[in-house]
Structure 1
Amino acid sequence: MTEQTSPTDYRFRLKDSLLGAQMLFVAFGALVLVPLLTGLNPNVALFTAGAGTLLFQWITGGKVPVFLASSFAFIAPIIYGVQTWGIASTMCGLMAAGGFYVLLSLFVRWRGTRAIARIFPPIVTGPVIMVIGLILAPVAVNMALGKSGDGAIILVDGSTAIIVSMASLGATLLASLFGRGVVRLIPILCGLAVGYLLSLFYGIVDFSRVTAAAWLAVPDFVLPEWNAAAILFMIPVAIAPAIEHFGDVLAVSSVTGKNYLKDPGVHRTLLGDGLATSMASMLGGPPNTTYSEVTGAVALTKVYNPAVMTWTALAAIVLAFVGKVGALLQSVPVPVMGGIMLLLFGAIMVVGLNTLVRAGQDLLEPRNLAIVSLVVVFGVGGMSIPLGSVTLSGIGLAGILGVLLNLILPQGDKTTGGSEARGPAAPH
C-alpha cells in the first residue's frame, strides 16, 4: 500500500514546494524592505521569517495558512532604536515586545477577546498607528530626495534622486491600482525593480559589496544586549500590531472559510506571533507579523493547505544562506526605497485613520477628542518624559498615553456630550 501511494504523495509535495516558493516571491519585497530601511541584515530577516513561520505553525498545530515576516509597524521604532542604542540593544526591546504578545495571549485565554477590546479600543489603537506613519514621513521625504534618513548627508544628486524615487513610487502605485493577478500582490517588488533598473541607468548602484560577498554564507546574526530604555520604548509599540493580529486572523478565516479564532484559537495564534517575534529578535531580525500579501495570494490561488507555508518558510531559510542575495539587496539606492516609503508610511497613517472611521465614533465628542489629539501631538511633536535613567518618548509614549487616557477619562454623556460644539446630536 505504501509503495503505491508514495509516488502520488511525492508529486503533491513537489507541487506544494513550488507553490511555497511562489508565496515567498509574493512576500519578498515587503519582507526585505524592513531590514533595508532599518539597517538590519536582509539575510537574517529571511531566516527569521522562515524560522518564525515554522514556530508559528508548531504553536498553532499547523492549522493556519499564513506566512510571518518583517512587520512594518516597527520600522520607525527600530530606526530610532538603532540610532540611539545600536542594533543589539534594540533587539532587547523587540524581544520584550514579543513577550508582551505572549502575555496578551495568556490574558485572552483567561478573559477572552472582549477584555482586550475594552483596554485597547480603536480610539487608542487608531491614533497610535497614525503616529507610526506620521513620525516616518520626514525619513521618507529625505530618502526620496537622495539624503540619509535624518537629512544630514546627501547620498545621491537631488535631481537624479527625485526622478528615481518618483519612478519607484509610480511603479508601486500602478501595480497596486491596475495590476492583475500576482502583479497586484507585489507592488513593492515592482517598485523596487523599476527603481533599481533606473538606478543602473544613472550609474548610482554600487556593486562592490555584491562582488565581495560569498555565494554561501551564514547570516550575520546579532545577539541582544540588555537595555531597560529600549524595553520601555518598545513594549507600547506592540499594542497596535498586537490588536491588528485579530484582524489578520479574521481575514485568513474569511478567505479559507474556517474559524481560526476558535480553532486553534486566537490566543494560540497570538502566542505564535509573539514567540516568533522574540525568536527573531534573539537573532537580530525584525519582528514578525502575518502577511496580508500572502493571504491575498491564498485567496487568488485557492491554495488553503497550511503545508504550503512550510515550504515558503523553508525556501526563505535556504535563501538566507546565499550571501550575494543580501549584498544585492543592500545595493538598492536610497531614492528607490524613499519613493516606496512615501506611499508606505502614508498608508500606515491611513490605516490608523481607517481604524477610527470603522469604529463609527464621534471624534468631536470631548473624551474622544482628548485621547486622539493628545496621542497624536505627544507622539509626533517630540514630547518626552524622563523616568529615572530612561526617557519615554515617540510611539512608546503615545501608546502608553492612549491606554491611560482611555482607562482614566470618564465616559461622556452619550446623549449630550459635545453636542453643543457639533450642532444637533447624532443618534447613538
Structure 2
Amino acid sequence: MGNNKVIQVEDKVPVNLLIPLSIQHMFAMFGASVLVPILFHINPSVVLLMNGIGTLLFILITKGKSPAYLGSSFAFLVPAGLVMTKWGYPEALGGFVAVGFAICILSFIIYKFGINWIDVVLPAAAMGPVVALIGLELASTAADTARIVVTATRPKIDSGDVIVFLVTLAFAVLGNVLFRKFFAVIPILISIIAGYITALITNVLKLQDVKDALFTDFFVIPNFQAPHFNLQAIIMILPVILVIASEHTGHQIVTSKIVDRDLLKDPGLHRSLFADGISTILSGMVGSVPTTTYGENIGVMAMTKVYSVRVIGGAAVLSIISSFIGPVAALIQTIPGPVIGGISFLLYGMIGASGIRIIVDANVDYSRSRNLTLTSVVFVTGLSGVVLKIGEVELKGMVLACIVGIILSLLFYIFDKFNLTNDRE
C-alpha cells in the first residue's frame, strides 16, 4: 500500500489488513462506549454486544454505503440519570425504546419530504461550525480522560499520566505523518499499544491488574434486562430526540466530506437515521444503552483514509465476540485514561477540522453579513457554556448551537422572501 492509498467504502480489504484495522476501530470506540454503562452502573458486556449488533444492522439497512460505528450515546445521561434516581433503570430503558420509535418516525418524515430543506435550515455557514463543535466541545473531555488537567477530585497531576499521554499522542501524530505502507493505516492501534506499554513501565497501569484481567472467567453471559414503560419517564427522556437528530445529521455530513460522497442522498439520511432508531429500540429492549454514530470512528477514518464498511463490520463482530469473552473485555477495560485521552486529542481535533472543511469546500462568502453572523453566533453559542433548560432536559453546546443556527437561517430565508435583507443574491 502506498502512503496516500484510499480504501473506499465498498472496497474489499485483505484479511491481513482487515483484522488490525477492525481492532483499531474497536479500540477507538471502546473507551467512550463503555463509559456510559459504567456511569449507569450496568454490565458493559451487554453494551458491547448491542453496539456490535446495532452496527451490523446499520450497515445492512444503509446497504453497505455508509461507514459508521454505533456506540453508546452520551445524550441520554442527564434525563436517564434523573429517571433512574426516581424510578430505576428499567424505566429508563422504556424511555430509550420510545426515543428509538420517535427517531424511526422522523426518518419516515425525511423519506417523504426529502433533504433539500437542510440547505435552508442549516446552510454551510451554520453547518460548518455546528459540525466543528462536535469535536471542539469534546476537547475538555479528552483532557479530563487523559488526567492532565486539575479538577475538584484531582487536585494534582501525576507525572506518569502526563508521560503516558504524551507518548500516546506522539505516536498518533507522528505515525500519521511518518509511518509507511502497512503501518500507515494503523497509527491509532500502534499508538494505543505504545501508550499501554508506557503505562506499565511508568506504573500508571499495575501489572497485577493485567494479570487479574487475563484470569477472569473465559465465557460470560451479558446481563439482560427488560424495559418498563412509564409515561412520565418517557416524557422526561423523549426531548433527547433533538440531540440525537442533530448529532446524527452532523456525523453523516462529516463522514460525507471525509469519504467524498453525499451520504445524505445515498443511501439517504432517512435510512441511516432509521437504522440508528432501530438499534436504539433493540438496545433498550434487552437492557443496553441507546446507540449513536461515533465521532471517534469518524476520526479514525479521517486519519487512516480507510473507509471500508467491511472494516467497520469487522469491528462490530469483534465487539460482539468480546462481550462473551471475559478476559478480552476485562483486558480492554484496563486501558488507562491517559491512553484514551491521547488518542481523543487527535481524533476530536480532526472532527473539528472537518467542520472547517465544510466552510472551505462550500466557498462560503464572509463578505455577506448573514454568513459572518451565522458562523459567529453558532460558534459562540456552542462554546459559551450557555444552557437552555426545557423541563428536565438541558440543551447546550453543539445541540443548542444547532438550534440557534436553524432559527437564524429560517429567519434569513423568510426575510429574503420579503426582500428585506441587504445582502441577498
* TM-score normalised by the chain length of structure 1: 0.73
What's 1:53 paired with?
A: 55
Secondary structure of the equivalent of 1:316?
helix
Give the Å deviation of 1:372.
2.3
Q: CA RMSD in A?
A: 4.3
* Residue in structure 1 matched with residue 30 of structure 2 by the alignment: 32
Residue 197 (structure 1) aligns with: 197
Counting only pairs closer than 5 Å after superposition, residues 257-272 of structure 1 correspond to structure 2 as 267-272=270-275
CA-CA distance at 1:378 after TM superposition? 2.2
SS of 2:137's equivalent?
A: helix
Give the CA deviation at 1:169: 0.4
CA contact (8 A) 2:111 2:270 kept: yes
- Partners of 2:183 and 2:92 lie apart in 1 by 35
* Residue 359 (structure 2) aligned to one of 336, 356, 360: 356
Once the two structures are superposed, the pairs formed by residues 172-321 of structure 1 within 5 Å of their partners are: 172-206=172-206, 207-208=208-209, 210=213, 213-220=216-223, 226=233, 228-233=235-240, 235-245=242-252, 248=255, 267-280=270-283, 283-285=287-289, 287-289=291-293, 313-321=316-324
- Seen in structure 2, the aligned counterparts of structure 1 residues 97 and 24 have a Cα distance that, compared at 3 Å, is farther
Aligned position for 2:397: 394
Q: 3-state SS of the aligned residue for 2:138?
A: helix
Name the TM-score, length of structure 2 as normaliser. 0.73
Q: Is the 8 A contact 1:21 1:315 kept in 2?
A: no
Query: Which residue in the other structure is 2:3 paired with?
Result: none
Q: Secondary structure at the match of 1:360?
A: coil
Residue-pair matches, total? 393
1-structure distance, mates of 2:17, 2:94: 35
* Structure 2 portions without partners, runs of 5+: 1-12
Aligned to 2:130: 128
- Does residue 333 of the first structure (1) align with residue 331 of the second (2)? no
User: 1:398: how far off?
Assistant: 1.9
Task: Go from structure 1 to structure 2 and tell me whether the alpha carbon gap of 1:104 and 1:20 turns closer, same or farther (over 3 Å shift).
Answer: farther
Distance (Å, rounded) in 1 between the aligned partners of 2:64 and 2:140: 41
Paired residue secondary structure (2:133): helix
| CA 1:119–1:50: 2 relative to 1, 3 Å | same
Identity within the alignment, %: 28
> 2:409: which partner in 1?
406
1:369 aligns with 2:376: no
Give the SS at the match of 1:385: strand
1:275-325 per-residue CA deviation (whole Å, 9 max, x = no partner) reads 234434654346243855897999879xx8x78876664443222211222
- State the partner residue of 2:7: none
Question: What is the aligned counterpart of 2:388 among 375, 385, 388?
Answer: 385
Deviation, 1:166, is 0.6
| Alpha-carbon distance between aligned partners in 1 of 2:134 and 2:80, rounded to the nearest angstrom | 16
1:402 maps to a residue whose letter is G
Q: Which runs of 5+ in 1 are unaligned?
A: 1-14, 420-426
Give the SS at the match of 1:392: strand
Which position in structure 2 is the counterpart of 1:141?
Answer: 143
**Structure 1 residues 275 and 298, CA gap change in structure 2 (3 angstroms):** farther
Preserved contact between residue 76 and residue 237 of structure 2 (Cα < 8 Å) = no
SS state of the match for residue 116, structure 2?
Answer: helix
Over 3 Å counting, the alpha-carbon distance change for 1:141 and 1:117 in structure 2 is same
What amino acid maps onto 1:328 in structure 2?
A: L
Letter in 2 for 1:106: F
Q: Which amino acid aligns with 2:134?
A: I
Residue 104 of structure 2 aligns with an amino acid whose one-letter code is V
* Distance change (3 Å), C-alpha of 1:395 and 1:296: closer
Could you tell me how far 1:192 is from its partner in structure 2? 1.6
> CA–CA distance in 2 between the matches of 1:47 and 1:214?
17
SS in 2 for 1:238: helix
Find the aligned partners of 1:131 and 1:294 in 2 and give their Cα distance: 18
Structure 1 residues 261, 384: closer, same or farther in 2, change over 3 A?
closer
- Residues 87-124 of structure 1, C-alpha deviation per residue, up to 9 Å, x if partnerless? 95887777676556534432332122323333333333
Q: 2:168 maps to which residue?
A: 168
2: CA distance between counterparts of 1:261 and 1:154?
43
